[in-house]
Amino acid sequence: MNPLVYLNSQARDGIVSLAALAAAVERFGLSWAEAELLALENGLLPARYQRNRKMLSTAEQLRLARSRVAVIGCGGLGGYVLEELARLGVGRLVAVDPDVFEEHNLNRQLLATPALLGAAKVEAAVARLREVNPAVTVQPQQKAFSVANGAALLAGCALAVDALDSIPVRLELGAVCAGLEIPLVHGAIAGWYGQVTTQFPGDTTLADSYARSGTGIEKELGNPSFTPALVASLEAAEVCKVLLGRGTPLRRRTLVIDLLEMEFVERLD
């Protein structure tokens, strides 16, 4: 019996369970990614995605599984972005961050736990996502993003997610994405405040927000638990839409968020 015949024999109403996929992995020596792709390519939906089913078709789920996305920064924003993209079913993730966990990360960074203090953030991302969704391949890159290594880090990626904590590096990321002609989903946070936009090649939205070289108010305000979770979720929604070509992304629009006054303001380019 070949793996597809096996998966078909195990499927119920077009859905194939985790146990059936695990058996296919075991019996036929497939990777989890190969098993899920085989299912999706043949119109079978892994059961873990069944609550995506009313909003995403099986073909769209396959498209996500075949997509590669780079998440630049694996701290406050990046931890949640990686988690959400892995649960969504984005098949290949590149996690970029030079840092290790420190105690002051514990108030907000999803991947940070006391046991992981001193551990590399990108390695924590690999371990976490293997637990969450073994069909997702995570490529850890424990390095600082720059224009020098940016094109190599983003090679083959459909888009990049800005989860950085540095304005100058953000602008470098914007430049690299423009050079590669891929979209950039931007998020930034400070205390109760945040902003999100999606910059497509040729747009200048990010540069307009950072036209003056200064220090962000996060240096003074810090960041709580909920602001990164919110902004990261908005970024993940943008990633989903851009990968699938659905809906209306925040293109040439920047959403500015004030959670203290609960105000959401939009700026057009």
Partner 1 sequence: MKITVKLFASFRDGRFKEEVRDTPAGTLCRRIVLELGLKEEELGVVMVNGRHAPLEQELRDGDHLALFPLVGGG
Which residues here bind partner 1, judged by CB under 8 A?
73, 75-78, 162-167, 170, 187-195, 205, 208-218, 220-221, 223, 228, 254, 256, 258, 260, 263, 265-269
Query: In terms of CB distance, is 222 or 237 closer to partner 1?
Result: 222
> Least distance in Å: CB of 221 to partner 1?
7
Q: Which amino acid is at 207?
A: A
Find the shortest distance in angstroms from Cβ 192 to partner 1.
Answer: 7
3-state secondary structure of 248: coil
The answer to whether 206 and 186 are in contact (CB under 8 A) is yes
* The amino acid at 47: A
20's tokens: 């059936």
Closer residue to partner 1 in complex, CB, 127/190: 190
Name the nearest CA neighbour of 74 among 108, 107, 103, 99: 99
Considering Cα of 42, then 43, then 44, then 48, what sign does the dihedral take?
Answer: positive
61 vs 141, beta carbon nearer partner 1: 141
Least gap, CB of 106 to partner 1 (angstroms): 16
Give the nearer residue to partner 1 in terms of CB position, either 51 or 212: 212
Residue 213 CB, shortest distance to partner 1, in Å, is: 7
Which is nearer to partner 1, 76 or 91 (by Cβ)?
76
Q: How far is the CB of 122 from partner 1 (least distance, A)?
A: 15
Instruction: Provide CB contacts within 8 A for 46, sequence distance 6+.
Output: 15, 16, 18, 21, 36, 39, 40, 135
User: Which residues 6+ apart lie within 8 Å of 118 measured at CB?
Assistant: 100, 101
Residue nearer to partner 1 on the CB measure, 3 or 187: 187
Report in angstroms how near the CB of residue 98 gets to partner 1 at its nearest: 13
Say if CB 201 and CB 181 are below 8 A apart.
yes
119: DSSP letter: S
